[in-house]
């Protein structure tokens, strides 16, 4: 009986903490945008210096949630900066916010992604994530935006764009991938059915060739029939 009471007491404290967190979130979200964004961007920089990984992730998850409620380039650039962090939980939170905003305000998100392609360094963890976040957005500008990833210097970003175009599955996008045939840059890809740690190294050229085959699998057969 005492054990049950202790559990109920702790659960009620958790409920109270959640109510407090939601109230404080709403209070912050209602504050002037520029001043809030100043503080949030400083918080991202501070989290990057935080030695306690759990604490850093906690802060970045909450920051991402607040950023998702604000419009404008500063908020979206900051969200992408959270996506570029080394903390999986924070990247997931930022990714969910960006994906949701892409459905609501695609042009604004697309412009932020274009800025990210120019300002983020090769090797940034955000670059290979962004193509997947816009893959299912029903906007005609998505393939054009993915085409910018295909010409990027970051091979992982290129590979992500190739895979995203295959997911979209429109053969009309094959010409975007065609120039990558013969590209000798390599990427590590997870092996299907090989376990969480199993990877294999492939060139972008090989990935492009496979993608073209998946996008237009019947071209060769039609050509043979015509002959």
CA–CA gap between residue 154 and residue 162 (Å, rounded): 13
Q: Helix or strand or coil: residue 32? A: coil
Q: What is the pLDDT of residue 199?
A: 83
> One digit per residue, pLDDT tens: the chain, 227 residues?
669 999 999 999 999 999 999 999 999 999 888 999 999 999 999 999 999 999 999 999 999 999 999 989 999 999 999 999 999 999 999 999 999 999 999 999 999 999 999 999 999 999 999 999 999 999 999 999 999 999 999 999 999 999 999 999 999 999 999 999 999 999 998 876 555 567 889 999 999 999 999 997 654 444 444 43
CA–CA gap between residue 62 and residue 167 (Å, rounded): 31
Other C-beta atoms closer than 10 Å to the C-beta of 158 total: 25
CA–CA gap between residue 66 and residue 50 (Å, rounded): 20
Q: What is the pLDDT of residue 217?
A: 64
The CATH fold assigned to 17-218 is 1.25.10
- Widest pairwise Cα distance in the chain: 84
pTM listed for this prediction: 0.87
Q: What is the pLDDT of residue 198?
A: 74
Other C-beta atoms closer than 10 Å to the C-beta of 56 total: 21
Cβ-Cβ contacts under 8 Å for 169 (sequence gap 6 or more) = 215
SS3 breakdown of the chain: % helix, strand, coil, rounded to 5? 70, 5, 25
């Amino acid at each position: 009986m005492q054990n049950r009471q202790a559990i109920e007491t702790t659960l009620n404290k958790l409920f109270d903490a959640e109510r407090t967190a939601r109230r404080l979130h709403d209070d912050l979200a209602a504050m002037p945008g520029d001043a809030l964004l100043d503080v949030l961007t400083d918080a991202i920089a501070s989290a990057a210096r935080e030695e306690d990984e759990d604490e850093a992730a906690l802060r970045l998850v909450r920051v991402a949630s607040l950023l998702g409620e604000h419009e404008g380039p500063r908020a979206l650039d900051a969200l992408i900066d959270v996506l570029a962090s080394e903390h999986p939980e924070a990247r997931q939170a930022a990714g969910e916010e960006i994906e949701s905003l892409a459905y609501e305000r695609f042009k604004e998100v697309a412009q932020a992604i274009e800025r990210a392609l120019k300002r983020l360094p090769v090797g940034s963890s955000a670059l290979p994530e962004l193509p997947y976040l816009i893959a299912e957005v029903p906007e005609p500008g998505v393939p054009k935006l993915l085409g910018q990833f295909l010409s990027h210097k970051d091979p992982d970003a290129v590979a992500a764009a190739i895979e995203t175009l295959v997911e979209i599955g429109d053969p009309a996008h094959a010409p975007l991938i065609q120039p990558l045939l013969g590209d000798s840059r390599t990427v590590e890809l997870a092996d299907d059915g090989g376990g969480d740690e199993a990877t294999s190294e492939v060139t972008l050229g090989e990935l492009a060739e496979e993608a073209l085959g998946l996008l237009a699998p019947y071209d060769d057969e039609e050509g043979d029939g015509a002959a």
